[in-house]
């Protein structure tokens, strides 16, 4: 039976292979985030209009056929009008519970001035030891990355 199914599979067009793979394989969301520190080691946070805990790191999701580095640059520009330069990938984490992979990049602002959007009302640098109310997981992530960032700069 398996051999028969493989013969049929081989005759199917590529688009049907791709469609079947999308239906059968588990789906994971790929999230990208930017961590930007100033010369004093403070982190740039965004005030999100749609979150219960408003302050957090800038983040977004990949669009189909998009490179992660391009996704975070696009998200930043769409939400703030600022252009960023991706320096390097600093952390990759996955979660079976949430079915997502998070890629966190060390970035810097390359150009532009902040403009308010429907999603972001404010941006501000914070000392990593004096963060505003925010999601516990993000706060812990910032402290962990900041510790490594200050040791490696």
What pTM did the predictor assign? 0.77
Burial code (b: 16+ CB inside 10 Å, e: under 16) for 40-68 equals eebbbbbbbeeeeebbbbbbbebeeeeeb
Quick check: 55 and 133 in contact, CB under 8 A?
yes
Residue 16 included in any domain: no
Question: What tens digit of pLDDT does each residue of 78-118 get?
Answer: 999 999 999 999 999 887 666 778 999 999 999 988 988 88
109 domain-assigned = yes
Give residue for tokens 């930007």.
36
The DSSP output letter for 97 is T
Q: Rounded to whole angstroms, how far apart are CA atoms 17 and 22?
A: 9
Residue 106, CA distances (Å) to 18, 43, 101 in order = 33, 11, 17
Q: Which residue has the higher pLDDT, 56 or 4?
A: 56
- Domain containing residue 42: 27-152
Number of compact structural domains in the chain: 1
6 is a domain residue: no
Share of the chain above pLDDT 70, in %: 88
CB atoms within 10 A of CB 83: 12
Residue 72 lies in a domain: yes
Average pLDDT over residues 48-72: 88
CATH code, domain with 43: 3.90.79.10
């Amino acid at each position: 039976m398996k051999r028969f199914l493989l013969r049929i599979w081989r005759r199917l067009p590529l688009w049907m292979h791709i469609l079947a793979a999308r239906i059968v394989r588990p789906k994971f969301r790929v999230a990208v985030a930017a961590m930007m520190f100033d010369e004093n080691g403070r982190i740039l946070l965004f005030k999100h209009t749609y979150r219960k805990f408003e302050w957090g790191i800038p983040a977004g999701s990949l669009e189909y056929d998009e490179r992660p580095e391009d996704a975070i640059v696009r998200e930043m520009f769409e939400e703030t009008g600022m252009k960023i330069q991706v320096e390097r990938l600093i952390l990759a984490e996955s979660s079976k519970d949430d079915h997502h992979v998070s890629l966190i990049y060390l970035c810097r602002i390359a150009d532009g001035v902040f403009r308010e959007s429907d999603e972001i009302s404010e941006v501000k640098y914070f000392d990593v030891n004096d963060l505003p109310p925010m999601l516990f997981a993000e706060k812990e992530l910032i402290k962990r990355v900041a510790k490594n960032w200050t040791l490696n700069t």
